[in-house]
């Protein structure tokens, strides 16, 4: 393998990796407004910081930013100085669901995803497995429509995994968080004590806010845990573990 050489030889030196937070860009892209003036303005500000750090390759590690239209916008802003690499072939749910299916053969699994690129990956991965169903849509908004028909056919929902949901940092966006008072109220109407929720995040603020909401709901039987259940992790979880970043976990039920 040839040794990597940056185009600008003045910046040649020891290869290094630098991390930059781009959560706000992910949030805007998730809302479908990557072609907005605000997104472009924030992207230029972020990319300017990358260029000033003398980086040659920019790795966008969230699949939503690898959507064709969004990727084209970001690459245009980066220009010729930065090479963009988009993580369009990584799907956290794919490995997570597959590992659980292998660990518990005979069980049925629902994989819920709203991003089109990930949906296509999941459907391709599990196309020949009848016990794994991939559903396209917003689980938060379609929760009862998804679960009730299953229960009417005799299904018992044992475990619900909420792994690293969007933290929606801005106060005005807190209502968009997956676990909310409204979500738990609707969940209380269709789940009994046989169902356990597993919640994981690397955002302390989100965890504390969610914990308070759960404590004030009927799902107030709460247990904190340190390691992944059954040793099965998501891609994002493994990345955070390699960084030695804290991960906050709890499970709750009625």
Q: Mind listing the pLDDT tens digit of every residue in the chain (254 residues)?
A: 344 444 455 444 444 545 555 777 877 776 667 788 888 888 888 888 887 877 777 777 665 676 778 888 888 888 877 777 765 434 445 567 667 777 777 788 887 777 776 777 777 777 877 888 777 767 777 777 878 888 888 888 899 999 888 888 888 888 889 899 999 998 999 899 999 999 999 999 999 999 999 999 999 999 999 988 888 887 778 878 888 889 999 999 99
Beta strand 159-163 with 196-201 is: parallel
Which of 152, 222, 220 is closest to 190 using CA atoms? 152
Q: How many Å is the maximal CA-CA distance in the chain?
A: 67
Q: What is the per-residue pLDDT across 58-67, written as a single tens digit (0 to 9) for each? A: 777 665 676 7
For 45-58, how does the pLDDT look when each residue is reduced to its tens digit (9 = 90+)?
888 888 787 777 77
Whole-prediction pTM = 0.64
Residue 60's CB: how many other CB atoms inside 10 A? 21
Residues identified as active-site: 166
97, 111 in Cβ contact below 8 A?
yes
Distances (CA, A) of 174 to 38, 141, 166, 178, 179: 20, 15, 10, 9, 10
Count CA within 13 A, CB hemisphere, residue 248: 13
> Residue 181: which of 201, 209, 200 has the closest Cα?
209
The angle at the Cα of 73, spanning 95 to 58, to the nearest 5 degrees, equals: 60
Asked if 11 and 54 count as a contact pair (C-beta separation under 8 A), the reply is yes
Pairing status of strand 221-224 against strand 248-253: antiparallel
Helix (H) or strand (E) holding 52: helix 37-52
The DSSP code for 221 is E
Under 8 Å between Cβ of 195 and 253 = yes
Mode of pairing for the β-strands spanning 196-201 and 109-113? unpaired
DSSP state for residue 133 in the 8-state scheme = E
Q: Which of 109, 131, 93 is nearest to 236 (CA)?
A: 93
């Amino acid at each position: 393998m040839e040794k990597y050489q940056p185009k600008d030889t003045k910046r040649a030196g020891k290869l290094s990796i630098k991390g930059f937070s781009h959560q706000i860009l992910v949030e805007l892209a998730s809302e479908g407004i990557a072609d907005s003036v605000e997104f472009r303005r924030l992207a230029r500000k972020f990319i300017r910081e990358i260029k000033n750090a003398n980086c040659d390759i920019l790795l966008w590690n969230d699949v939503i930013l690898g959507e064709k239209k969004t990727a084209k916008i970001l690459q245009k802003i980066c220009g010729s100085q930065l090479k963009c690499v988009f993580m369009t072939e990584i799907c956290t749910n794919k490995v997570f669901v597959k590992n659980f299916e292998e660990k518990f053969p005979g069980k049925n699994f629902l994989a819920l995803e709203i991003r089109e690129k990930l949906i296509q990956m999941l459907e391709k991965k599990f196309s020949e497995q009848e016990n794994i169903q991939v559903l396209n849509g917003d689980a938060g908004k379609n929760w009862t429509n998804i679960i009730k028909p299953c229960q009417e056919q005799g299904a018992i929902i044992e475990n619900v995994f909420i792994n690293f949901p969007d933290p929606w940092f801005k106060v005005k966006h807190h209502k968009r968080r997956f676990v909310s008072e409204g979500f738990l109220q609707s969940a209380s109407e269709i789940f009994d004590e046989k169902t356990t929720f597993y919640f994981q995040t690397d955002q302390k603020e989100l965890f504390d806010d969610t914990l308070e909401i759960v404590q004030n709901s009927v799902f107030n039987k709460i247990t904190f845990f340190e390691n992944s259940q059954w040793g099965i992790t998501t891609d994002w979880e493994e990345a955070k573990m390699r960084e030695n970043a804290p991960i906050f976990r709890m499970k709750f039920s009625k």
